[in-house]
């Protein structure tokens, strides 16, 4: 909001020139005349702006015009991204998994992940799993899926046998060479 106040004060500054060098000459000649700009008036105007919510004060009397303005700068803050939410890992499975994985890696019937991706035990969330522990599988039978780059890749049993351990949960991220299951 701009409020303008009028005070009685006179000065010979009239039409100010457009170029800075001419303006400097005009101000110097005006200051040399008998009625120079009162610095105390300018200080009082600045103090009035600071003490109130005014953004501008203009004083005009005859040919003299003094304007004191305050610019308000707004600080723009970048939006803060929320912290990512992580799903809690199963505590009991986490403790047992490293021991099983180490033992499974040494087993000759271990089926390892051929790529980095996400392992799935079922073809869709509402379907039954491909295999269960204790189930007999044939060579070439699909036992898991690993999704990599939006492509689902079949993981097939390398040989016939009985599934003795499933080392991944449905939707678990897997690394290249990570043990997925054990067939005896």
CATH number, domain at 135?
2.40.50.100
Q: With respect to residue 81, please indicate whether it lies within any of the assigned structural domains.
A: no
Q: With respect to residue 121, please indicate whether it lies within any of the assigned structural domains.
A: yes
What's the CA gap between 44 and 64, in Å, rounded?
17
- pTM for this prediction: 0.46
* Domain ranges, residue 113: 93-183
Length of the chain: 184
Give, as one character, the DSSP assignment of residue 35: S
178 to each of 28, 33, 149, how far by Cα in Å?
85, 92, 18
Residues 104 and 165 in one domain: yes
Q: pLDDT (tens digit, 9 = 90+) per residue, 28-76?
A: 555 555 556 777 877 888 888 888 877 888 888 777 788 888 776 666 6
Q: With respect to residue 139, please indicate whether it lies within any of the assigned structural domains.
A: yes
Residues 108 and 42 in one domain: no
Q: pLDDT (tens digit, 9 = 90+) per residue, 70-121?
A: 776 666 666 666 656 555 555 555 445 555 555 566 678 899 999 999 999 9
DSSP H or E segment with residue 104: helix 91-106
CB atoms within 10 A of CB 59: 21
Q: With respect to residue 118, please indicate whether it lies within any of the assigned structural domains.
A: yes
79 to each of 76, 82, 84, 120, 162, how far by Cα in Å?
9, 9, 15, 37, 55
């Amino acid at each position: 909001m701009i409020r303008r106040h009028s005070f009685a004060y006179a000065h010979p500054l009239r039409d100010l020139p457009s170029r800075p060098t001419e303006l400097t000459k005009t101000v110097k000649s005006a200051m040399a005349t008998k009625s120079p700009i009162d610095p105390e008036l300018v200080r009082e105007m600045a103090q009035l702006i600071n003490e109130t919510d005014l953004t501008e004060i203009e004083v005009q009397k005859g040919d003299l015009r003094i304007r004191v303005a305050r610019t308000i700068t707004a600080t723009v803050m970048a939006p803060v991204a929320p912290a990512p939410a992580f799903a809690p890992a199963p505590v009991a499975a986490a403790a047992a998994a490293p021991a099983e994985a180490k033992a499974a890696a040494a087993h000759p019937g271990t089926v390892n992940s051929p790529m980095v991706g996400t392992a799935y035990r079922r073809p869709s969330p509402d379907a039954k799993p491909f295999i269960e522990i204790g189930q007999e599988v044939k060579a070439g039978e699909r036992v898991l899926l690993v999704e990599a780059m939006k492509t689902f890749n079949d993981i097939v049993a390398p040989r016939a046998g009985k599934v003795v351990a499933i080392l991944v949960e449905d939707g678990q991220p897997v690394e290249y060479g990570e043990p997925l299951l054990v067939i005896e």
